[in-house]
Amino acid sequence: MESLWNDAEAARYVTDVALRVYTSRLLGRDSTLVLHGGGNTSVKAKSRNAVGEAEDILHVKGSGWDLETIEEAGFAPVRTAHLLKLARLEALSDPQMMNELATQVTRAGAPAPSVEAILHAILPYQYVDHTHADALLAITNTPDGERRAREIYGMDTVIVPYVMPGFDLARQCARQFAAEARADTIGMVLLNHGIFSFGATARESYERMIALVGRAEAYLARHGAWALPQPKADAGAPVLRLELARLRRDLSDSAGFALVLATHSAPKYLDFARRSDVAALSQQGPATPDHVIRTKRVPMLGRDVGAYAGAYRDYFNRHARPAKAPRTMLDPAPRVVLDPAFGMACAGRTARDARIVHDIYAHTVDVILRAAALGGYRALPERDIFDVEYWDLEQAKLKKAGASPVFAGEAALVTGAASGIGKACVEALLKRGAAVIGLDVNADVVQLMGGRVDFLGVRCDVTSERDVTDALEAGVRAFGGVDMLVLNAGVFPGGQRIDALKSEEWRRVMSINLDANLALMRECHPLLKLAPRGGRVVIIGSKNVPAPGPGAAAYSASKAALTQLARVAALEWGVDRIRVNTLHPNAVFDTAAWTDEVLAARAAHYGVSVEDYRKGNVLKVEVTSRDVAELAAELCGPLFAKTTGAQLPVDGGNDRVI
Ligand code: ZN
């Protein structure tokens, strides 16, 4: 554990709050300290309000912000004096506390202050840092964690037994701090939860955190509990896509909504899932209580979703009845699945949520293994975890949560995704909340969307069945299935009359525009059948199907055959709840094939201006890739829920078709 403080970098941050931003980001950069919204920081500063009064203000991390990327706007300024008065109350419910905090914020539009605001206020130091450091969690989640913490820190920290975060924890800390802190106290250990450090400057507080956590790491090393076991399993990749898609369907059915399922088969997870003591280790509970919101209390072992859901209902009933206020049960589906065949799979309402689950459980595995090496992993009793999972504040968020995007939790596969209509389809589907697998023969598809977690670009020659099955395997491992299939890849060869059309060229066009799509449909069918909300296929046909042109025999015939294939699929697959519809675009010029020169040449050929050529349709409108893509996405949505076997033109109206 090393300090990342850099004088040159720090010099760019001048005010107290700016320096608070800087060292908060330093904490956030280390995922062994904080993860995804975990931890919080604060600084106390004086300021003058609009009527000239001096006020002490606590700038504390606001909810919804990550330490790694926090800005000044991510800190809520709260009047310290009022927080100190609240700290002296005998009791305060969490909703009341949040109301008090909100009404003492001095900047309109600031985020809600952290639930730990009162705790930050009572610590008499200008800077306060709080993390959920892995090393501390490995030590305190053991049967004699408290003794170990005392052994490591002596009198340098106050050690607080586990109390639920919020007002009660602030009270407990205030009491203990008053009684136990000395002039040289530099931190506070919260057993089974995390650690605080504090100081007179941003650097001092931050570097004390690094030093305190460093001492915990050194302790683990001295006790042979720091080095993680060398991975043994072979990360070989058995074909599992149908099993994974079935598992995801079961998880989604249990949750009541579609879930993305991301599979992680690194040796670390295979080894963990195959340990003989995996049940004892993994069924204890999370390393720190707030992880429960993301991971549920325990992972599912194996694939019996019904049994997991039943046990979850029992857990809810055991603890909800004695609770003060009535509780609404969350969905009973697990978010982490451990299985000896594939290692770990993480479920989320979006690909991003599934990634967060992965990141948290990746650290949880390390914490568990280190605690086990130290003498046994022992998490908090399930009652404490339940209280955080069903906290008033979390339940309130649940009630406020808005509607999800239309394709949340679903996965779509688009061919020819690197450019033109395919790329526009990728964007239209992502915009509607789907995770997207983009296939293209052009390797640029891999980086098409930068590093977005909800997009997987796979280089794939769709005429190679091996490429296609490999891509499907990768896609299902990334997102758990294929719910929507957009068959767009195709070639449009230059004008060739039949009397000059070579059989080779005919076969080339047929193999890409027709045969490849048969293989894709056949291989995707079992996945589409497992789609939690029913499968959907959109075929990008062509105006040439109803209105062919001379010189395009191979193209027109291939698209006509593809259209017929789609109609038969609609008939055969309706029983499997799979809808198959076809779009017939025409004159979509914003694609790679249509350079300005080609466009000018074609316009000249017909003796019209480029403008007239572009808009040569009944409505006199230009048809863009985006127009086609938006309709393709809508065809997969609820508007067309009862439409299958249809063919829709997207061509601005064509007098030969009409
Ligand atoms: Zn915390």
429: confidence class by pLDDT, cuts 50, 70, 90: very high
pLDDT in tens, 161-177: 999 988 999 999 999 99
- Return the structure tokens found at 101: 């905090």
What percent of the residues of the chain are helix, what percent strand, and what percent coil, each to the nearest 5? 45, 15, 40
Query: Given this model, what pLDDT does residue 397 score?
Result: 67
pLDDT exceeds 90 at position 591: no
239: confidence class by pLDDT, cuts 50, 70, 90: confident
Query: Given this model, what pLDDT does residue 1 score?
Result: 85
Question: Minimum mean pLDDT among 95-99, 206-210, 598-602: which range?
Answer: 598-602
pLDDT in tens, 313-354: 999 999 988 766 788 899 999 999 999 999 999 999 999 999
235: confidence class by pLDDT, cuts 50, 70, 90: low
Domain covering 7-222, topology: L-fuculose-1-phosphate Aldolase (3.40.225)
What is the 173 CA–ligand 1 centroid distance (Å)?
A: 13
398: confidence class by pLDDT, cuts 50, 70, 90: low
Query: Given this model, what pLDDT does residue 237 score?
Result: 66
Mean pLDDT within 468-472: 96
Whether residue 335 contacts residue 294, with contact meaning beta carbons closer than 8 Å, is answered with: yes
Whether residue 202 contacts residue 22, with contact meaning beta carbons closer than 8 Å, is answered with: yes
What is the 207 CA–ligand 1 centroid distance (Å)?
A: 18
Mean pLDDT within 187-205: 96
pLDDT exceeds 70 at position 632: yes
Query: Given this model, what pLDDT does residue 236 score?
Result: 65
Query: Given this model, what pLDDT does residue 250 score?
Result: 98
What is the 196 CA–ligand 1 centroid distance (Å)?
A: 9
434: confidence class by pLDDT, cuts 50, 70, 90: very high
Question: Minimum mean pLDDT among 228-232, 265-269, 301-305, 382-386: which range?
Answer: 228-232
- Return the structure tokens found at 16: 């107290």
Mean pLDDT within 293-305: 96
The type of residue at 446 is: V
- CA distance linking residue 12 with residue 331, whole number of Å: 47
DSSP E strands in 373-466: the ranges are 411-415, 435-440, 455-459
Mean pLDDT within 557-578: 98
pLDDT in tens, 87-113: 999 999 888 999 999 999 999 999 999
Query: Hunting for tokens 């064509």 — which residue is that?
Result: 654
DSSP E strands in 408-483: the ranges are 411-415, 435-440, 455-459
Q: What does pLDDT average to over the chain?
A: 93
What is the 141 CA–ligand 1 centroid distance (Å)?
A: 15
Domain covering 411-588+623-650, topology: Rossmann fold (3.40.50)
Whether residue 63 contacts residue 112, with contact meaning beta carbons closer than 8 Å, is answered with: yes
- CA distance linking residue 132 with residue 1, whole number of Å: 14
447 vs 496, residue with greater confidence: 447
Q: Which of 319, 380, 492, 498 is nearest to 142 (CA)?
A: 380
- CA distance linking residue 507 with residue 502, whole number of Å: 9
Catalytic residue among 22, 219, 308, 555: 555
597: confidence class by pLDDT, cuts 50, 70, 90: confident
Query: Given this model, what pLDDT does residue 549 score?
Result: 85
Mean pLDDT within 365-393: 93
Enumerate helices (H) and strands (E) in the chain, giving the number of each.
25, 18
What is the 250 CA–ligand 1 centroid distance (Å)?
A: 33
Say what percent of the chain tops pLDDT 90. 84
Mean pLDDT within 357-380: 96
SS (H, E, C) 488-523: CCCCCCCCECHHHCCHHHHHHHHHHHHHHHHHHHHH
Query: Given this model, what pLDDT does residue 30 score?
Result: 92
**How big is the CA angle at 462 (ends 585 and 477), to the nearest 5 degrees?**
110
Query: Given this model, what pLDDT does residue 544 score?
Result: 92
Determine whether 581 is exposed, middle or buried from the number of CB atoms within 10 Å of its CB (0-12, 13-18, 19+). buried
Per DSSP, helices labelled H in 141-288 are 145-153, 167-180, 202-222, 241-255, 267-274, 278-282
What is the 112 CA–ligand 1 centroid distance (Å)?
A: 16
**Any idea where the domains of the chain sit in the sequence?**
7-222, 241-399, 411-588+623-650
Is 555 a known active-site residue? yes
pLDDT in tens, 380-390: 999 999 999 99
Determine whether 340 is exposed, middle or buried from the number of CB atoms within 10 Å of its CB (0-12, 13-18, 19+). middle
pLDDT in tens, 23-58: 999 999 999 999 888 899 999 999 998 999 999 999
What is the 130 CA–ligand 1 centroid distance (Å)?
A: 7
Mean pLDDT within 549-565: 94
- CA distance linking residue 581 with residue 595, whole number of Å: 30
What is the 128 CA–ligand 1 centroid distance (Å)?
A: 12
Query: Given this model, what pLDDT does residue 323 score?
Result: 65
What is the 290 CA–ligand 1 centroid distance (Å)?
A: 8
